[in-house]
Homo-oligomer: A and B are copies of this chain.
Amino acid sequence: MSRRTFLASASCLPAAKVLALEPSKGDPLPSWNDAPAKRSLLGFVARITKDGSPDFIPTPERIAAFDNDGTLWPENPVPFQLAFALDTLKQRVAKDSTLADDAFVKAAAAGDFTTLLADQYKGLFHILGLTHAGMTTDEFNTGVDDWLKTARHPRFVRRYDECVYRPMLEVLAFLQANGFKTFIVSGGGADFMRVWSERVYGIPPEQIIGSTARTKFERRNGQPVLVKTTDHVFVDDKEGKPVAIHQYIGRRPVMCFGNSDGDKAMLEYTTIANPRPAFGLIVHHTDSDREFAYDAHPRSSGKLVEALAEADHRGWTIVDMKTDWNRVFTFEN
């Protein structure tokens, strides 16, 4: 049974589309225009998979790290996991009216991000605690799955898990077909992504690295369960990304794909002084017609702007979404 068949028939996914692509027989990257970014990517993979070449990389070392928000799917108007948290919070308030008096819950309901992000994201972590802790891991998974079924992206009016970049799905399938293990290394929650990553990206849960809090092993009704908590939070972003790559993968990737301030450290870790040939790529959001156009937001650390300026010197490939991609989303024809 192929992965695709298995996923399509898995009973927990009644209506969700399998988006992960099978290996292509012709052009592996048909959504990419014939331009320097595409040629750079294809050229690197050709070079390191050629047996006997000095640049050959043995299969076990073919590790590729992908950021998620903004690299594989959009991060606007808000990161999709935040949309999940806000929708889930509304349901919680409807069931438990005492929550409506909570100052941060009020701020969330009003879309007041200034309040939520003040004091080192205190309100945001409070909201995440209310929506991501206290339940078993199975209960949380069901909540994410249920949300995906009903929620729609405000601009594209599609299920959130359909708003993924088709060109990047092609890259994932192409690398997987060339012996790569593809990992997500995202600031998003590992538990949130693992619910749909295999179906959407062809990436199994054990290759999802994200932000985490520690679960607690308990017995409920005589059965062992893991309960989500807000203890030992680890934010997998910026310098945390190479740290997490070491903790989870234990060796340096040879390919790295990112788009934002949070990805510069892992681009450096992948490509600077790597004894193997290495490849870095930045997805640059340049297309306000089909997606969004932005570099630095008001709270930006400026690391993306730095990374774009350094890209030529570092040999990093920049994707100009407007000119490099002939289609952006899986739902386009």
| Interface: A302 (CB within 8 A) | no
Size bracket of the A interface: 35 or more
Report the stretch among A31-39, A161-169, A206-214 that lies at the interface: A206-214
Instruction: Report whether A247 and B58 are in contact in the complex, using a CB–CB cutoff of 8 Å.
Output: no
* A85 CB to nearest B CB, Å: 20
Residues of A within 8 A of B (CB): 1, 3, 6, 51, 58-60, 63, 137, 181, 183, 190-191, 194, 198, 204-208, 212, 214-217, 223-224, 226, 232, 239, 242-243, 246-251, 265, 268-269, 272-273
Which of A1, A207, A247, A251 counts the most B-chain CB atoms under 10 A from its CB? A247
Given A60-B198, A223-B273: 13 more A-B contacts, CB < 8 Å: A3-B60, A190-B250, A194-B251, A206-B248, A206-B251, A215-B243, A215-B247, A216-B243, A217-B242, A217-B269, A224-B272, A224-B273, A248-B248
- By a CB distance below 8 angstroms, the chain B residues around A207 are 206
Which of A51, A191, A194, A251 counts the most B-chain CB atoms under 10 A from its CB? A251
Instruction: Report whether A214 and B1 are in contact in the complex, using a CB–CB cutoff of 8 Å.
Output: no
Instruction: Report whether B6 and A58 are in contact in the complex, using a CB–CB cutoff of 8 Å.
Output: yes
Instruction: Report whether A224 and B268 are in contact in the complex, using a CB–CB cutoff of 8 Å.
Output: yes
- By a CB distance below 8 angstroms, the chain B residues around A217 are 239, 242-243, 265, 269
* A180 CB to nearest B CB, Å: 12
Closest to A269 in B: B224
Q: What are the 7 closest A-B residue pairs judged by CB atoms, nearest first?
A: A205-B250, A217-B239, A223-B273, A6-B58, A194-B250, A206-B249, A224-B268
Closest to A194 in B: B250
Closest to A5 in B: B58
* A187 CB to nearest B CB, Å: 15
Closest to A267 in B: B224
- By a CB distance below 8 angstroms, the chain B residues around A215 are 243, 246-247
Cβ contact of A226, chosen from B1, B206, B242, cutoff 8 A? B242
Closest to A60 in B: B204
Q: How far is the CA of A217 from the CA of B262 in the complex (A)?
A: 14
Instruction: Report whether A242 and B268 are in contact in the complex, using a CB–CB cutoff of 8 Å.
Output: no
- If the complex has contacts A51-B1, A60-B198, A198-B60, are A226 and B246 also in contact, measured as CB distance less than 8 A? yes
* A49 CB to nearest B CB, Å: 11
- By a CB distance below 8 angstroms, the chain B residues around A272 are 223-224
- By a CB distance below 8 angstroms, the chain B residues around A204 are 60
Q: How far is the CA of A107 from the CA of B15 in the complex (A)?
A: 63
Q: How far is the CA of A206 from the CA of B184 in the complex (A)?
A: 13
Closest to A268 in B: B224
Which of A181, A204, A215, A224 counts the most B-chain CB atoms under 10 A from its CB? A224
